Chains A and B, each alone.
Chain A
Amino acid sequence: EEQLVQSGAEVKKPGESLKISCKTSGYSFTSYYIGWVRQMPGKGLEWMGAILPDDSETRYSPSLQGQVTISVDKFINIAYLQWSSLKPSDTAIYYCARHSGRLGAPDYWGQGTLVTVSS
C-alpha cells in the first residue's frame, strides 16, 4: 500500500531556514515524480514543483522557482522541501504527493505539514 508520511508542524521566525520531509513506502520510490503542493490559509491548492528521484530531474512552478528547493534521498525514500529564508507569506499547509506517471497527476498524498512563520 502506497503511503506518504510527512514531518510534523513547524513554527519559525522570518528569516529562518527550514526543511520538511515526506517519507514514502509501498512503491518504487525512484520510478515516480514526487511533488509538493501549497495551500495557504483559506485558499486553494498550488502546485509548487516535483522531482524524479531516479535522476533528480526537478521541475518548479514558474512563480515559485528560486523560492524553495526540492530534493530527495533515494536511499531512504524521502523527499524534502527546503527554504533558506522564510517569510510570513510562507505560512501554509504543505502536502507532498506522488505523481502517477511522467505526465500523470498527483495520486497519493501525504497528510500535510503546517508551517507557521511569525515574529
Chain B
Amino acid sequence: QSALTQPASVSGSPGQSITISCTGTSSDVGNYNYVAWYQQPPGKAPKFLIYEVSSRPSGVSNRFSGSKSGNTASLTISGLQTEDEADYYCSSYTSRGTWVFGGGTKLTVL
C-alpha cells in the first residue's frame, strides 16, 4: 500500500490559517471516515489531533479542524502560533484492514 500524499512543507505567519492536504484513493481516504491527524514536534512522539475526519480528542485546541472531500482530507490550523511548528501526519484505515500514514508535512511558522 502506498503512503498518502501530503505536501512536504507549508508555512504561515502567527495569527494566520493554513491547510494541509492528504490525498489517498478510493481504497482508503475516499471510502472510510476513519481519517486521523497527528502533530509530531522534533524528537517527540506523535500527538493525536483529529479522528474520524473531524472530531477532536479531549484537550485538543479548537484551532485544529479536519474535513474531507472525495479522496482528499484536510487539516486546518487557525490562529497560527509559534508552538504549532512541527511535522503533521494524516492516516487512514484501508480496505485491506490496515492503516496507512501520509508522508508528513513540515509546518514552519515564520
Contacts and interface: CB of A to CB of B under 8 A. Distances in A.
Interface of A: 35, 37, 44-47, 49-50, 59-63, 95, 97, 99-100, 103-112
B97 A44 contact: no
B104 A62 contact: no
B contacts with A: majority SS: strand
Contact of A104 (B46, B47, B51, B89): B51
Contacts of B87: 44
A35 B91 CA distance: 14
**Which bracket fits the contact residues of B?**
20 to 34
A44 B99 contact: no
B103 interface: yes
Contacts of A105: 34-36, 48, 51, 91, 93, 99
Given A45-B46, A45-B104, A100-B51, A107 B98 contact: no
27 contacts: A37-B46, A44-B87, A44-B89, A44-B102, A44-B104, A45-B40, A45-B46, A45-B89, A45-B91, A47-B98, A47-B100, A49-B98, A61-B1, A62-B1, A62-B96, A95-B46, A105-B35, A105-B48, A105-B51, A105-B99, A106-B46, A106-B48, A106-B91, A108-B48, A109-B45, A109-B47, A109-B48
B99 A110 contact: no
B48 A59 contact: no
Given A44-B104, A45-B40, A63-B1, 4 more contacts: A62-B98, A105-B34, A106-B36, A109-B46
B101 A44 contact: yes
A49 B100 CA distance: 10
Contacts of B47: 109
Max chain B C-beta neighbours (<10 A), residue from A35, A105, A112: A105
B64 interface: no
